[in-house]
Every structure is written in C-alpha cells, then in structure tokens.
Amino acid sequence: MSNSVTPAIDGGASVSREQAAGAAPALRTRALSLWYGARRALDAVDLDVPARRITALIGPSGCGKSSLLRCLNRLTDEIEGTRVEGEVRLGEADVYAPDAFVHELRRRVGIVFQRPNPFPLSIHDNVAYGLRLLGIRSRRELDERVEAALKAAALWDEVASRLDDGALGLSLGQQQRLVIARAIAVEPEVLMLDEPASALDPAATLRFEELLHELAGRYTLLLVTHNMQQAARVSDFTAFMHAGRLIEFGDTDALFTNPRERQTEDFITGRYG
C-alpha cells in the first residue's frame, strides 16, 4: 500500500529495514504501564522503536497513544497523580532510573505537540531556546545552529530574512515546522510527534509529510496519528494500540495489507475508531 505512495523511501529500503529490525532499537519499553489516579491508561506495553525510522502509532481516540509518548520522555512527571511501572530504555539509559537527569533525558527525546506552540519570542529565539538552556551563549554558534535547524525543518528559505520577527506571525504550517526546528536544534536522538499535522490544511500537511521523510534518515521518529492514510504513507513501521494495550506492531506494509490481529483489521478497515 505505501509502496505505491512513497517510492522515495521504499526504493532501496528493504535491506536497510531488515538491518533496522536487527539493530538495537532507539527506544525500548518493557511492561510499561501508566495510571492517572486509579485509571489505567497504559497496560504492559512492550515496544521496540527502530532507530532512524518512522514508526507510526495508530488507534482509536483515548487508546493511550499520546500517553505513551509522554511516558517516554517523562512529561508524565509534570502531571499530578500519575504512576508509571515497567521499564523504558533510551539506548542503554534507564529512563526511569532514580538518578536520571530528567531535563537531559528530555533533550534527547524531543516532542512536537498537536497544536504548534511557539514561544511569544522571535523566530531566532524560539529555535535558540533549547540551545540557551544548554548554556550555549556564543552568538556565532547560536546563529549557526539556528540556521542548520531551520534548514533541516525546511523553513529557512521562508524566514531567513526575518529571523527577528515574532514567531506568532507565522502561518500554522510554518509554526509547526518552526516547532520542529526548535526540537531538533538540541539534536535529540528521538523525535516524537503527537498528531502534528491535524491542525494543518492539506497543502501544509503534504509539505509536512515530505519533511518527515527528510528527517527520517537522521532521527528516530515516533509519529502519533489518527489518520491511517498518513500512517500508511509516511511510516516504515506501525504500532496499533487499543484500550492502553499494544495490539500489533510490525512493518507498515504488512500491518496494513495483512494484519495478524482481528482488532487491527477491524480498525484499519474502518469498522470502528
């Protein structure tokens, strides 16, 4: 299914895909469970996110896709009453180790939210924000890395002449790419995107998906989407979640053409969700 839509990524991907499956995953969860108070949002999720690939998370609303993302960089810490059990490993690092530096961890696992949320600062200062947190003060270094991040996010050509303008003046599509530039400026290993295109119009969505392809070779992307066509178009691997459980995970083509589980089939054929 996705072969016909995205020849660019699938052209020579079959070999490297097998390599990716064999290589160490960028992120690995084992028996990961999450509670909001007494409500269980995630139920023993085992997931290996392949490095430098696009992995899509699909499933009906409220199935725990977004909760899973927030567990992976411990944004759940900021919510009162959450409890996490199980293990998350980022490379070799134990994410929930008592002595883990949460802020350093979050630098390594960036996240982009559904609605673009630039700071009410200039375009330049938005992208430089994370770099300044890291203690980078040199104007030259900041400028270089801001430019590199904006180029990687396919936004440089549109904003190069007005870096000091306010970021809130950009269009929604530009803001979403700015937020991506901001996230990749600090060079994360994993970039998680939580329904990043749902606020965009079709043309901006198309640009956005092209951008995802460009980023895929350099970063491990974990994409939450409620748009199954999008998941099929852009992702290499797909995980289907339902009611807090990971039902099925596999190669996107295989999952969409030949799902192993009945629930997956019902979902992708539109019988519910």
Partner 1 sequence: MRASARRRYWRGRVQRVLVAAGASFVLLGLFAIPVYLAAAVAASRAPVGVDWAHLGLLFAGSLRATACAIAVALPLGFATAMFSAHFCAPRLRAWLKPALEMLEAVPTVILGLVAATSFAPWLKSHAATLLALLVALPALLLAAGFAFGRPSRHDGWLPLSVLPLLCAIVAFGLWLSSRAQAPWIVPASPWNATLVGLALGVAALPLVFSVAEDALFLVPREQTQAAFALGATRWQALTTVVLPAAGAGLFAAALLGIARCFGETMIVLMASGNTAIGGFDPLIGLRSLGADIALGMPDAAPASAVWRDLLVATLALLASTVLLSLAAGFVRARLRRRLHAGAAA
Sites of contact with partner 1 (CB under 8 A):
73, 75, 77-78, 80, 102-107, 110-111, 113, 115, 117-120, 129-130, 132-134, 168, 179, 182-183, 186
d(CA 67, CA 42): 7
Sign of the Cα pseudo-torsion (215, 210, 47, 257, in order)? negative
> Least CB distance from residue 243 to partner 1, whole Å?
25
Q: Which two tokens stand for residue 194?
A: 């939580």
> Least CB distance from residue 152 to partner 1, whole Å?
16
Question: In this structure, are residues 90 and 49 in contact, taking their beta carbons and an 8 Å threshold?
Answer: no
Comparison of 132 and 260: residue with beta carbon closer to partner 1? 132
| Three-state DSSP state, 154 | coil
> Least CB distance from residue 167 to partner 1, whole Å?
9
Comparison of 17 and 177: residue with beta carbon closer to partner 1? 177
> Least CB distance from residue 80 to partner 1, whole Å?
5
Torsional class of 40: left (φ above 0), alpha (ψ -120 to 50), beta (otherwise): beta
Any residues with CB less than 8 A from the CB of 95 and at least 6 apart, and which?
A: 72, 73, 74, 88, 89, 105
The DSSP symbol for 3 reads H
Comparison of 8 and 168: residue with beta carbon closer to partner 1? 168
Comparison of 104 and 261: residue with beta carbon closer to partner 1? 104
Comparison of 25 and 110: residue with beta carbon closer to partner 1? 110
> Least CB distance from residue 81 to partner 1, whole Å?
8
